[in-house]
Every structure is written in structure tokens, then in C-alpha cells.
A and B are shown apart, each in its own frame.
Chain A
């Protein structure tokens, strides 16, 4: 796609990757799938290795990474949103956080430079899993009737307003939530990837034509790479904490 003398690749070509194995089947492996598998391998390796170092009083290295992650999820996510009874969700939320984080962070890894969550597969899958979990937790904690009543008719709202509030709550809680959760993560990673590609193409084009003109887009590329690291972590955190908030809301209807 030629835009202002820039040979910018079509957007789909930035996100669609050819099959490498089992091409044309439902089990086809492409770059996105490899990043998912790498995220599993890295997270698994961190926790399995950290679990073997149990003797030291002061955690260091990989043990520190794993324990900081667990502490962060437990203290800053679960205790802040659900409370003590949410501790049973810490393994799930920790897994989710690290899986999303490592799927995102490949956006800035040289040679790979692609956030796997800029593909909709994992965000929507995880969002639907979260949808099932928070609805199940709500029904289990309050009973089906209680859960629906507290979800659709929030206490403290004047009765007349239920005409407006109830349809909104119905749509937002049971329909929009999983999609907003998925699209937030997906769109952020798509936007970040597009930004990096844009500045990379600009840098390349201006370098081959003017040399000096490439300085500004290269500076922006560097800046945006740092920014995307922040976005990768932040989006993993937001997805995780919103999951905890939804679960907490199902457990404690008064909140």
C-alpha cells in the first residue's frame, strides 16, 4: 500500500501469519501459536524453577520474579478487589497475568516483534472463560435467583429507575463484559503494533532516502518501544484486575 511515497504493508499483512505446520487444518501452527506456546514455556519454567529454590531466606533471581508476581496478584489484585475468600482464585489470576504478559511482550522482542494478543483468539477465549467463571461464582454464592436479582436490580436504586438500569445491567453484565474485556486487550495490542510498524517503516524509508530525516522517527520508534513495554504489562494487569473485580462483584453483590 503506497501512502505518501511510503510502501506501507496492508494492515492484514501485519497480523496474518502463514501456517508453518498442519497448514489448512484447524490445528495449523503459525507465529501467533508459537508465541502462545513460548508464553506457556516461559511462565512454566519461571514457576517450576522458582519452586525448586525453597531454602533461601531472601529470594533472588527467578524466585524473586515468581514470588513478586504471586504477591502482586494476591495483595494488589485479589485482596483489593475480592478479599480473603478470593485467595482461591490467585493461581488462576496469576496464570492469566503471566500468560497475557508474555504473549504481549513479544511485541518488543527483536526478531519476533509481534504481540500475540493482537490476534483476537486468546483475548476472546480468556474473556469467555472469565464470563463463565464469574457467572458460575455468582450463582454458587447467591443462588440463581439471588444472582440475577442482584445483577439486574442493583440494591439502592429507586424502583422507577429499574426501567432504565435493568436493561443496561442485563446487557453490560451478561453480554458486553466479555467483549469489552477482549476488545480492550486486543485493540491496545493492535494499536501498539501499528504504531511500532509505522515508525519502523518511516525510519526505514527516510534512512534510505535522506539519512538525517530518519532521526526523528527512530527516536519515536525507540520511545514507543519503551511505551509498548508499559502497555504490555498494563494490559495484562487490567485484564487480570477486571477479572478479579467481576468475580468479586459476583461474590459480594452489595459492592
Chain B
């Protein structure tokens, strides 16, 4: 493969070298009219000898005239038509059979590869968008669910708070009622105790003061009346 490639590279190189090698002598032949005339005169002098008047020789004059002649540049040369036509034909066959199909095939294959890659990329993008949409939907559901749960928790907490407050109020009221009842009971007991204590003290005192004129019932009524009076004054 590498050797064939090198040979292919060498072909135009050798062609260039060939042209360059021949270019020197070819350019040298592209002499001026003066050079051409000098060459004709020199050849004539060599041929006829220095003594011969070459400039008045008709043959030499004809040769000198030819130095001014030039072929019509617009008329193609047969050998160049043959080689040029053959060269183009060979190149055309080479291109149609080998070069062009290979290059065009590579270009088409690359275009097809790029097209399929782009299609695959498009499909991947569509898939990714679908996955993204799915994830976004799920995320939205999750957010809604979380929000609902938070609301439920909040309302439950509010309910618990309300219940607790209500129960607390009830307990407080009960405690207050019970405390009031206890206080009333204690007060009544204290009054009764006090009354009994006062009655005893008063009785004892009254016994000492009015021992002989009052019996026990009268004393009792007097004492109760007194205590009621005292209680009414405090009450």
C-alpha cells in the first residue's frame, strides 16, 4: 500500500523532473533573431571559408530570411493535438474508472455517516426531552404531594392545637370549679369550726357572765344569733 502510494507520488515528480531536465536545452533553443542570423553566417563561413562573401550568397540569404519566419501560432501542431488529446483521454478514463468514484464514494459515505449521526443525535435529543418531561412531571407531582402533605399536617396540627386548647380550657375550668368548691367547702368547714369554737368560747364566757339566769337552750339560740350576725357582717 505504502509502496504503491510512493509510486503514485513519484509519477508526477518524475514528470516534473523530466520537464525541468528538458527545459534547459529547450529554452536555449528559444534564441533571438540575431542569434539565429549569427549562427547561419557562422555555419556558412565554416562551409564556404572565410574568403567567400557569405552575405551575398543567395542560399545564405534564404537561410537568413528563415530566421524571421515563424509558424502561425494559432495553428495547432499535429503532435501536440495527438499527445494532448491522448493525455486528456487517458486522464478521463482514469478519473471515471478509478479516481472519481473513489473520491465521490468517500464523500457520499461521509455525508451518509454525518446524516445518520445527525439523525441519531436528533433521536437522542427527542429521547432526552421525553425523559426530561417525565422527570419534570414527576417532580411536579412530588411537589404537589409534598404541598398536600404539608397542608394536611398543618391542618392536623391546628386541629390538635384547638383540641388541646379546648381540653386545657375545660380542665382549667374544672380545676377552677373544683378549687372553688374546695375553697367553699373549706370555708364552710372553717366557718362551722369557727362557729363551734366561738360558740364554745362564747358559751364559756357567757356561762361565767350569766350563769344563773339562762339555761342551755337560751344560751344556744343567743350564741347562734350572734354568730349569724357576725357571719353576715363578714360575709
Contact = CB atoms under 8 A, between A and B. Distances in A.
B65 to A, nearest CB: 13
Binding site secondary structure of chain B: helix
A45 interface: yes
Nearest to B92: A95
A57 interface: yes
Interface residues of B, number: 59
Interface residues of A, number: 80
Interface in B81-127: 81-85, 87-88, 90-92, 94-96, 98-107, 109-110, 113-114
Contact of A26 (B15, B18, B33, B82): B82
Interface stretch (A13-21, A141-149, A210-218, A219-227): A13-21
A6 to B, nearest CB: 10
B19 interface: yes
Contacts of A79: none
A37 B95 contact: no
Contacts of B92: 91-92, 95
A52 B15 contact: no
Contact of B84 (A15, A91, A96, A121): A121
A43 B91 contact: yes
Interface in A9-33: 9-20, 22, 25-33
Contacts of B15: 34, 37-38, 41-42
A186 interface: yes
B106 A57 contact: no
B232 interface: no
A105 to B, nearest CB: 12
A4 interface: no
B102 A47 contact: yes
B217 interface: no
Contact of A54 (B18, B22, B88, B106): B106
A125 B113 CA distance: 41
Nearest to B105: A54
B233 interface: no
A112 B76 contact: no
B218 interface: no
B75 interface: yes
B12 A45 contact: yes
Interface of B: 1, 5, 8-9, 11-12, 15-16, 18-20, 22-23, 25-26, 29-34, 68, 70-71, 73-85, 87-88, 90-92, 94-96, 98-107, 109-110, 113-114
26 contacts: A9-B30, A11-B70, A11-B73, A12-B70, A12-B71, A12-B73, A13-B30, A20-B26, A22-B79, A30-B79, A32-B84, A33-B80, A33-B83, A37-B83, A40-B94, A47-B94, A49-B8, A51-B101, A53-B106, A54-B105, A63-B103, A66-B99, A95-B92, A113-B23, A121-B76, A183-B74
